[in-house]
Structure 1
């Protein structure tokens, strides 16, 4: 039987991706669905789809983001720093590390959550190679080897390809989930994503 797939496009600086990470994995396990992890260059996505980086948004929009984050943290029982010491630093190397780990068959879900946790809960700079190396070692991963792989041209090319694929799929923000060609934007759409999976499963069984 063919296993269904969710293409998961996310930014390695995405607070919202962090809030939805555990629920996405639980959903995939419930329905025996494979998640394909696709880190993307969100600033590039924004530039191609009309989005604005946080620092360029109006004070009102920035304030509402913080309000919504606090609401969702209360709802989910998750604690994050809504304004961390290192707010959305360059995530290219972190993204390529996740891609390299995936290519090596390592547990990507746990790894990318550890990097997001470092930024949003521990005030660590995930643009720093030293920080990323420490995170990898904390997870028992050969950090030197993985970072070396992450810098290779084939991994960097995949990062660019995933970003292009995201835009082609209609993605304009993080996190985004694509299931059978249907786009769901935001961790607050995971319930709707599960509804689509449930409908598809019922049709397949009928």
Structure 2
């Protein structure tokens, strides 16, 4: 039987998740599969899987990231600032807000994309609670209620659970997609992900 969903592990600071977001949604519609949105604590994932945070990487690796990011932006027609004013701040609260919204059945895709857009296209600080309130309100959501829900201990537990699940599934970066037990890392693997879903 064809699995009816895919697990999507992503960081709320991931420029690559932002570049793949719309294409992932389109893929899911074409293949009639649900997306289980699972924000993760990527620094924790890195610490457990041998990853290195961007600022700690060699200059060569940092420069190549910028070159590759610009290529993908041109290819997709999606502008991204490789060096935003607030680059990769703490994303824990943003992650909990997305999880809380998802559990309430709110439009989680639009919300998480708006958070990523704020960082990578608008130079906004997504670790700032006022910024997150503004983003939620701009999506037509009750920002106060959503932030209260996001502060609940069970949301933090679920955030840690998603992070543990990602590592258990073999994920080591963002975005990571898991379908029928098979891991696909990176928005540049979306075509292969779709082929696997179609073949199932």
User: What TM-score comes out, normalization by structure 2 length?
Assistant: 0.99
Structure 2 unaligned residues grouped into runs of 5+ = none
Aligned length: 200
Shift of 1:4: 1.1
Deviation string 1:176-199 (CA, Å, 9 cap, x unpaired) is 000000000000000000010111
User: Distance between the aligned counterparts of 1:173 and 1:3, measured in 2?
Assistant: 23
Shift of 1:3: 6.1
**C-alpha contact (below 8 Å) 2:17/2:174 kept by paired residues:** yes
User: Distance between the aligned counterparts of 1:74 and 1:2, measured in 2?
Assistant: 35
**C-alpha contact (below 8 Å) 1:11/1:174 kept by paired residues:** yes
Residue of structure 2 equivalent to 1:204: none
Shift of 1:2: 7.4
Residue of structure 1 equivalent to 2:63: 63
Structure 1 unaligned residues grouped into runs of 5+ = 201-206
- Within 5 Å, which residues of 2 pair with 1:47-196? 47-196=47-196
**C-alpha contact (below 8 Å) 2:3/2:180 kept by paired residues:** no
**C-alpha contact (below 8 Å) 1:3/1:32 kept by paired residues:** no
Deviation string 1:150-182 (CA, Å, 9 cap, x unpaired) is 011000000000000000000000000000000
**Runs ≥4 in structure 1, deviation > 2 angstroms?**
none
**C-alpha contact (below 8 Å) 1:3/1:34 kept by paired residues:** no
User: Distance between the aligned counterparts of 1:135 and 1:79, measured in 2?
Assistant: 19
Residue of structure 2 equivalent to 1:10: 10
User: Distance between the aligned counterparts of 1:138 and 1:60, measured in 2?
Assistant: 38
User: Distance between the aligned counterparts of 1:195 and 1:132, measured in 2?
Assistant: 36
Deviation string 1:67-103 (CA, Å, 9 cap, x unpaired) is 0000000000000111000000000000000000000
SS at match of 1:183: strand
